Each structure stands twice: as C-alpha cells, then as structure tokens.
Amino acid sequence: MKKYGYILFFIFIATSVFAQSGIQLVTTLSKNKLGIHQRLRVDFTVNRQGADHFELPKLEEFEVVGGPSSSINQSWINGKSSYKQTYTYIIKPKRVGVFSIPSASISYQGNRIESNPVEVTVLLESDVPKDVNDPHYIASENVHLVAEISKEEPYVGEGIYVVYKLFFSNKVGFNNWRIEGVPQYDGFWNQDIEVKRPEVKNGTYKGEDYRYIILKRALLIPQKSGKLGIDPINMDISVTIPTGRADFFGNHIERSVNYSTSSGNRSVDVKGLPYENKPAGYNGAVGDFDFAVTATRDILRANETTQINVQVSGKGNLKLFELPTIETPTELEVYSPEHNEKINASLTGMSGKISDSYTIVPHYKGKYQIPEVSFSYFSVRDNAYKTIVTKPLIIDVTEGKTLPGGGLVNSQNSSAKQLVVATDNNFRYILNDTNFNAIKKEVFFKSNLFYSLLFLPFLAIPFGIFIGKRKAKRDGDVAGKRFRKADKLARKYLSQAKKQLGKKEAFYISLEKALHNFLKAMLNIETSDISKEKITELLLRRNVDSETVKEFMDVLQDCDFARYTPTTDTMMKDEFDKAKLIIAKIDKQI
C-alpha cells in the first residue's frame, strides 16, 4: 500500500506540472513598425480555460486609446478540443524610438503566468515602410489633416486665422471621427469661429484633386513678438478602403481601418511693432480705425445732462486696447464712463466699434471747453503709425447760476482764481411808502375743514388695520419675499437686456453687461480687469456653491458665443430667465 501511495503522489505531481507547462499567455502585435500618429493592436491570448485576473503591463511609452475587449474561441476537431481567450487593446505611441511592451500576467490554478515581451519600432510618418497592401499605409496616402494659417509673419496685435481641414481622396471614404484635445494657442488672444455643420467640398492637396471638410476655425491675435507655436489637433478616424473585390451581386467590398493622424506643429514668426515714429501715449491699437469724440447735446441748461462719447470704429484688435480719456473743467460734474462694444469676429478679424460714454452735468451758466483728444494706431496696410486728433468741444450752458469769472472755461483755466461779478441789481433804493391790503378774516373753529380733519384719523383706522394685516402676511411669506427680492434685483440689473429682447446682438451685449454690473455690486470688483477664472475663484471664496458658479459662467459663455450663432426669440427669453434665476441664487448665497 505504501508503494502504491508513492506512485499516486508522483502521478499527481507530474499531472500538475504538465497542466501548468501546457498553459501559455502569448503577446502578438498587428505590426512591429508604425508611424508616430498610427495605432497598434496588441492581443494577449491564453490557451487554457479557467485563467482569470488578467493584468496589463505598464505602457509608459504608449497611450491606451481602446480596450480592453475580450473574445473566446473554443472548437472541437477530430475529438480534440482547443480553447483561446484573447484580451485586445488599441495603443498609440507617444514618441519616436524602439520600445518594449513588458510581459502581461494572468492567474491560473493559484499561479501567475506571464506573457512574452515584444519590441515595437515607432518611426516618423515619412520613414514608415511603404506597403501597398497595408490598409494603414493606404489611409496615410489618401487622408491628410492640415492646419492652414493666413499669415506666417504677422505683427504683434495683427489678427490672423488658422483653419484645420481634413483632406481625403476619391479612393477612400470615412464614416466617423473623433478629435482629441483642444489647441491652447499660447501667446495668442484667440476666439473660435463656429463651424455650424461640416460640409464636404472639392479642393486640391499638393496639386491633386481632393475632397475636404473644415473641422475647426479660430481667430488669433499674437500678444508678443518672436516665434509662437500653434498647437496641432489629433484625430482618430475610421477610413473605408476598397479591397479590389466584389460580392455576389457585383458590389465593391470595402474594409474599415482605424487611422490616427495629426495636423502637425505649426508656428508663426511674430514681428514686433517698430519703435521709430512711435507716438507718445500709444496704447497698442493695430488695424485701420476711425476716431471721434461727440456730444449728444452741446447747448443745455444748468443741472441738465449731456453725454460725451469717445468712439473707435473700424477693423483691428478692438478688444485689446483702452480708449483715450477726456479732460474736463473742474466745474463740470463727470461720472465714470460706460463702456460699450459692438464687435463681430470672423476669419477676416475683428470689426465693429467700441465707445466710452461720459455723463456730464453742469451746475453753472457759461461755456465749457472739452480739449482735443488724440488716438494713435499702427496701420498694417500702410506699415506706419497714424494719429487722429479731434476738435475741441464747446458745451454752452445758457441758463442757471452765473459762473464767477464768466467767459469760456476749459480744463486749463478752470482752477484759476474766480472774480466777483457786479451787476445792476446788486444795490436798490429803500421804499418810503407802503400799501397794505386787509386780509379777509376766516374762522377755522367749527368750519368744514375743522370737522374733516377731526374725523379723518377715525376713518383712517380701518385702512391702517387692513394695510397692517396685509403687510404682516406679506412679511410672513418667506418664499414670496425671497422671490420679490430676487425679482427686484433682476429688474435692476437686467432691465436694459429685457428691452433688447428680439435684437440678438444688443440683447446679449446688455445681458453680459448686466451680469458684470451685478458682480461689481456684489463683490466690489471691476470685472473687466479680471479673467473668468478669477471670477470663479472670487465667487467660490464668497461661499457660492460650485454648481451655481458653473451656471453663472455658462450664462456668461453663452452671451459670448450666442452673438455669432443663430438665435431665436425663445432662446433669448430662456437665456434671460436663466440669468434672472442665477442672480437670485448668488444673491441668496452671498
């Protein structure tokens, strides 16, 4: 019996060793060489049922863009069974070089089984071997992602554009795509120009006929000189490639292949603005502009108001410089200017007008001079600085208290010593004779007025009780009180936007201005001087919850983009109601 026990023990050990030696985890690649923007399929296949807990190795030089997907293949042939379970991943290289894919592992009967390591060579696209039978090579020869730049040597502040186009020849097609990442455009002021719906158009690529679609457009304005890079966009696309075969009915058979491509890195060499003949006080305006300083009324009476408008119109970097300020005599009361913008952004640049409106109130009769104002800009078309100087404005106040000193008042002499003005009415003779008329005597006691005033308090008591009860009920209505406060606050800041409902551009400008004015009042800040990230930080610091902050920033962003997109009256009304609600939320939380 002891002898048979040893025999059984050795048979068990041999069977276990044989079972473990028969299991394999094998790594296979769809290709050993690929381009930097191509994809690679990696299969890890195990040949024994019951293996589990598969672990992918660390792929430091690759990015996993698909998977894992698992498939099982089990068959019986001539009484023998076969089993395969495959774990599939789609990966993309991060850089050029020769890299190793380490061993993966899987658990089988309490032991870890490892796969074989494999090497992959990543090449530049130009170095990828040309194999006319390789579908990835066919895709690379017939599909091209290009970033087109309008000007490669602009000036600082000069608007240029970048358009990302996907070219594909008539030999292939595609059915879907995915764009990875968003370009940051470091060193540029930028604004995306919406592509409403990609349309297939005919064009040429390197002298050959191609079709293309526009994926993305952006207006760029460089903010500093030197070489500035324009980020590429990376794209995963499913390309359909003909196989050269046909089915039973004569239809061409095509196969789809996942292909990755990139528009490549582009750069522009930005020229600094010339120092020669640069005007004093130049504020960075680049383009072609008109400049004017006007008054809504130049003849008025004391304590009436007039507006002085400082306006720049034309084409250029309108959002990136400040308007000149005006100087006024100290005798005039001047309020902080209200800034207005009416700007359209397109691939040709920014065009429109910006203005500062000063409200002025004179308190004395007289003539006041607003001195000339100058505005300088750099003209790209003429490659030179230009300066526009306005004529002085005269504000004539015809009625009111006489200003001591009289005459014309300007900002230079307004602080001079004032003289006493003598008139003929300063001294008059004292009359010697008087002529008094008797006053009609009326008795107030027991008159109609007496009794009316006597009983008026008693008549007012019921009204007082009624009003008091109504006020108490109104004060007890917490929800209604909150609503009325929010409605009052919304009316205060959104009144102008409500007047512009139906006028798309004017409405969104007014709505954006209302939101900024609300922040000025609540946070005591100048929102024009800070970024949206800073606004978010300040709101969070004031204990406004992140969801409310996100809703507020979404409304601001909608105002920015909706001016350049089709909008209906219903959409504007919804945007107005959304802004009204978010103002109430922020007011409640602060």
Total count of residues recorded for the chain: 590
Tell me the C-alpha distance between 516 and 520, whole Å.
Answer: 6
- Residue type (1 letter), 8: L
Q: Which of 39-43, 294-298, 574-578 has the highest mean pLDDT?
A: 294-298
Residue with the larger pLDDT of the pair 252 and 17: 252
Q: What is the mean pLDDT of residues 40-53?
A: 84
Vertex 550: Cα angle to 545 and 553 (nearest 5): 125
Is 266:229 a contact under the CB 8 Å cutoff? yes
Say what the pLDDT of residue 379 is: 94
Is 230:162 a contact under the CB 8 Å cutoff? yes
* Separation of first and last alpha carbons in the chain: 89
The H or E element containing residue 192 is strand 188-193
> Which of 317, 257, 261, 255 is closest to 286 using CA atoms?
317
Tell me the C-alpha distance between 47 and 81, whole Å.
Answer: 11
Share above pLDDT 70 across residues of the chain, in percent, rounded to a whole number = 79
State how beta strands 366-370 and 408-410 pair: parallel
Tell me the C-alpha distance between 21 and 512, whole Å.
Answer: 72
State how beta strands 201-205 and 208-222 pair: antiparallel
Tell me the C-alpha distance between 236 and 576, whole Å.
Answer: 39
Q: What is the mean pLDDT of residues 387-414?
A: 76
Tell me the C-alpha distance between 515 and 559, whole Å.
Answer: 10
Tell me the C-alpha distance between 571 and 504, whole Å.
Answer: 10
Say what the pLDDT of residue 438 is: 63
Q: How many CB atoms lie within 10 A of CB 256?
A: 14
- Paired with 394 in beta bridges are 369
Burial class (CB in 10 A: 0-12, 13-18, 19+), 447: exposed
| 127-139 pLDDT, tens digit each | 666 666 777 778 8
Domain 20-127 matches domain 478-589 at the CATH topology level: no
Domain ranges of the chain: 20-127, 135-270, 289-410, 478-589
Decide yes or no: CATH 3.30.870 for domain 289-410. Answer: no
Annotation: CATH topology of 478-589 = Four Helix Bundle (Hemerythrin (Met), subunit A) (1.20.120)
520: three-class secondary structure by DSSP: helix
Q: What is the phi/psi pair of residue 154, to 5°?
A: -85, 170
Residue-by-residue DSSP string for 330-385: TTEEEPPPEEEEEEEEETTEEEEEEEEEEEEEE-SBEEEEE---EEEEEETTTTEE
Say what the pLDDT of residue 12 is: 47
Q: What is the mean pLDDT of residues 31-51?
A: 82
The H or E element containing residue 512 is helix 504-523
Q: Given a cut of 50, is residue 100 above it in pLDDT?
A: yes
Say what the pLDDT of residue 461 is: 84
Is 25:111 a contact under the CB 8 Å cutoff? no
> Which of 71, 258, 39, 275 is closest to 156 using CA atoms?
275
| 346-380 pLDDT, tens digit each | 888 889 999 999 999 998 888 889 999 999 999 99
Q: Which two structure tokens, joined as six digits, stand for 378?
A: 């750099």
Q: Which of 330-339, 446-455, 488-497 has the highest mean pLDDT?
A: 330-339
Tell me the C-alpha distance between 201 and 216, whole Å.
Answer: 15
Q: What is the mean pLDDT of residues 1-5?
A: 56
Residue-by-residue DSSP string for 271-292: BPPP-TTPPTT----BEEEEEE
Q: Given a cut of 90, is residue 294 above it in pLDDT?
A: yes
| 215-250 pLDDT, tens digit each | 899 999 999 999 999 988 888 888 888 766 766 666
Q: Which residue has the tokens 């070219």?
A: 167
Tell me the C-alpha distance between 143 and 172, whole Å.
Answer: 8
Say what the pLDDT of residue 15 is: 44
Q: How confident is the model at residue 546 (pLDDT cuts 50, 70, 90)?
A: confident
Q: How many CB atoms lie within 10 A of CB 52?
A: 9
Q: What is the mean pLDDT of residues 482-502?
A: 65
Q: How many CB atoms lie within 10 A of CB 89?
A: 20
> Which of 540, 537, 533 is closest to 556 using CA atoms?
533
- Residue type (1 letter), 39: R
Say what the pLDDT of residue 16 is: 47
Q: What is the mean pLDDT of residues 540-555?
A: 81
Lowest mean pLDDT among 103-117, 208-222, 489-503: 489-503
Evaluate the CA torsion angle 131, 137, 142, 145 in order and state its sign. negative
Q: How confident is the model at residue 331 (pLDDT cuts 50, 70, 90)?
A: confident
Q: How confident is the model at residue 423 (pLDDT cuts 50, 70, 90)?
A: very low
Lowest mean pLDDT among 180-194, 321-335, 347-361: 180-194
Tell me the C-alpha distance between 584 and 581, whole Å.
Answer: 5
Q: How many CB atoms lie within 10 A of CB 543?
A: 8
Say what the pLDDT of residue 588 is: 75
Decide yes or no: CATH 2.60.40.740 for domain 20-127. Answer: yes
| 145-171 pLDDT, tens digit each | 999 999 999 999 999 999 999 999 988
Q: Please give the model's pTM, rounded to 2 decimal places.
A: 0.53
Q: Which two structure tokens, joined as six digits, stand for 195?
A: 């592509």
477: three-class secondary structure by DSSP: coil
| 302-325 pLDDT, tens digit each | 888 999 999 999 999 998 999 999
Q: What is the mean pLDDT of residues 120-132?
A: 72
- Paired with 216 in beta bridges are 164
- Paired with 105 in beta bridges are 55, 114
Tell me the C-alpha distance between 140 and 176, whole Å.
Answer: 16
Q: What is the mean pLDDT of residues 385-397?
A: 92
Q: Which of 56-70, 254-268, 285-299, 456-470 has the highest mean pLDDT?
A: 285-299
